Amino acid sequence: MRGKKAVLGIGDDCAILRIPAGHEALITTDFSLEGVHFRQDWQSPECIGHRCLARGLSDIAAMGGRPIATFLSLALPDGLPQRWVDRFFRGLLRLAEKYELELAGGDTSQSPAGVLADITVLGSVAKGKALRRSGARPGDRIYVTGALGESAVALQLLRRKTIEKRDVFPEPRIAVGEWLVKNRIASACIDISDGLSTDLAHICEESGVGALIEAERIPIHKAASRFANSLQLTLNGGEDYELLFTSSSNKNVPNAIGKVAITRIGEISKATQLMLIRNSKRERLISKGWEHFSNQ
């Protein structure tokens, strides 16, 4: 792997890493548990490995950070074919390599039930510059990267048995997050892992504000657009790993950052409620949690 950043990686009691001068460390951990976050019969091992790391990288992106190294705790059940494990690592390491990220440690164990993975990602960001959930102010505009609903559609089709398998490879928005920090554009930021309605509520709670979203402005992924419930899929579907951020109205936010589309979808309000404008009518926006890939 290019860009060897670990002073000492796998093979000692700890990994040793250097944080760039003038930077703070960012750390996130995320489970990927079989039967809760994924199912072997619904996704390829490569896809499961990719998504395992993408969950952690997306959290680094949401803070505007750059990833440095990753750590994987992985428990495997008896009888799991080595080929499955190899393919899981292929998916995970392909994504790691894209970000010149080293797998610098972790733990391995026998599993009492299914494949159990917990990913830790270490990143860094210039001191005091991290994007937080708590900085949104009334009047700030609300933006989202890319398009929403692809993972939710896949889950819907799998549950209805319309399809047997579906791989979705979400791309963590690392470059967008770094751009937002560098250009001091975002007042608050989060990644959409639990769904737009839920993650927007996190920003509003932490910032002590509310929000007004315009339904017609939400960018719908092409995979979701032909479904009658596409609005619900984009509002409540999780695991899109797009960024949701706010920006003061006097900032100039472009229509794209790199090749990633940026869409304005609403505005932060003083009243601490989430509202949706749909067909020119206002309604309450209810935050619905995301149930991942469990079979419910």
Cβ closest to its own copies, residue 45 vs residue 105: 105
Decide: is 1 part of the binding site for its own copies (CB under 8 A).
Answer: no
Give the Cα separation of 115 and 221 in Å (integer): 30
Closer to its own copies by Cβ: residue 13 or 226 = 13
CB of 120 to its own copies, least distance (A): 5
Burial of 13 (0-12, 13-18, 19+ CB in 10 A): exposed
- The mark string for 172-191 relative to its own copies (x by CB under 8 A, - otherwise) is -----------------xxx
Distance CA 59, CA 63 (A): 7
Q: Residue 104 CB, nearest distance to its own copies (Å)?
A: 7
Q: What are the Cα distances from residue 74, in Å, to 25, 53, 88, 270?
A: 24, 12, 11, 45
| C-alpha of 43 from chain center | 18
Q: Which phi and psi angles does 248 have, rounded to 5°?
A: -60, 145
126 binds its own copies per the rule CB under 8 A:
no
Given 118, 140, 178, 240, the residue binding its own copies (CB under 8 A):
118
Give the Cα separation of 200 and 215 in Å (integer): 14
Give the contact letters, 15-34, x = binds to its own copies (CB under 8 A), - = no. Answer: xxxxx----xxxxxxxx-xx
Q: Which helix (H) or strand (E) holds 159?
A: helix 150-159
- Neighbouring CB atoms inside 10 A of 254's CB total 11
188 vs 132: CA distance, rounded Å: 5
Q: Does the protein bind its own copies through residue 200 (CB under 8 A)?
A: no
From residue 69 to residue 108, what is the string marking binding to its own copies with x (rule CB under 8 A)? x-xxx-x----------------------------xxxx-
- Mask of contacts with its own copies, 239-268, x by CB under 8 A? ------------------------------
Q: Tell me if 156 contacts its own copies by CB under 8 A.
A: no
Tell me the closest approach of the beta carbon of residue 5 to its own copies, in angstroms.
Answer: 11
| Contact assessment for residue 27 and residue 122, using Cβ atoms and an 8 Å cutoff | yes
> Residue 55 has which token pair?
């969950």
Which residues of this protein are in contact with its own copies, per CB under 8 A? Answer: 7-8, 11-19, 24-31, 33-37, 58-60, 62-63, 65, 69, 71-73, 75, 104-107, 109-114, 116, 118, 120, 122-123, 125, 127, 130, 132-134, 189-191, 206, 294
